[in-house]
Amino acid sequence: MGNLLVKKPKVTDVDRAILSLKTQRRKLGLYQQQLDTVIEAEKQAARDLIREKKKDRALLALKKKKAQEELLKQVDAWIINVEQQLADIELASKQKAVFESMKASTSAIKSLQSEINLDDVQKLMDDTAEAKAYQDEINAILGEKLSAEDEEEVLAEFENLEAELTVQDLPKVLASEETIQAKKPEIAKPKTVEDNDIDEELVLPDVPTKAPVVPEVVEDGSESASVGISTRRKVLEEPLPA
């Protein structure tokens, strides 16, 4: 019983035309395959006749092949026409569907607009403006709405508080920067040639602890004595090595 209640889709003239064109396209495709087979057979026959030295029959086979090729070209043109008609029908069908959709939407818009009266819309807007003005008057009476001077005072107080907070936070920022600087590792500077020379151990002679001994000189004359005295003075006057 359920299958009897199913409504069958209505077959339109467009559907019949599309079905007919597709049927013709399928038949023309089969005809194409037959022509291709005949052409290939005539071509092979011409080859065999040429080998057998039968020139007249070979030429006849080639003429049949040529005729079949011309017919194949005509079939190709028919298939192109059928494809073009199918494409045109499909395009027209889509255009009709778009037109019907636009028509339905326009009808829906008109139906909705018919339910709205312009006078009612104008009255609604007037009532809304009147209600807003009434609410503004109530707010002004109750003091909920600040004047321009009050707005300026509030803004000035906000700027003062912002400046105070900035000053209070400044020492914290400086302290954090100092902590960051203290935590940074010191970078060792490369030693120069002079630093290397200073670091080298200086080897100095020992400081003498005894006075130098003056050797005795035999007096061989006044001249020798004067020379010995000057030599002793020179030795005594020489500074000690550092």
Residue 106's pLDDT band, with cuts at 50, 70 and 90, is very high
Residue 101's pLDDT band, with cuts at 50, 70 and 90, is very high
Residue 53 has pLDDT above 70, yes or no: yes
pLDDT average, residue stretch 108-126? 87
Mean pLDDT of the chain: 76
pLDDT in tens, 231-241: 555 444 445 55
For tokens 């003075």, name the residue: 233
Residue 11 has pLDDT above 70, yes or no: yes
Residue 219's pLDDT band, with cuts at 50, 70 and 90, is very low
Residue 120's pLDDT band, with cuts at 50, 70 and 90, is confident
Residue 87's pLDDT band, with cuts at 50, 70 and 90, is very high
Q: Which of 20, 97, 26, 34 lies closest to 71, judged by CA?
A: 34
Q: Which of 26, 28, 21 lies closest to 76, judged by CA?
A: 28
Burial class (CB in 10 A: 0-12, 13-18, 19+), 68: buried
pLDDT of 33 reads 93
Residue 242's pLDDT band, with cuts at 50, 70 and 90, is very low
pLDDT in tens, 176-211: 666 666 655 555 555 555 555 545 454 555 655 655
The residue that leads in pLDDT, 170 or 164, is 164
Q: What do you get for the CA distance between the two ends of the chain, in Å?
A: 135
The residue that leads in pLDDT, 49 or 1, is 49
Kind plus residue range of the DSSP H or E element containing 185: none
For tokens 């030599």, name the residue: 231
* % of the chain exceeding 70 in pLDDT: 65
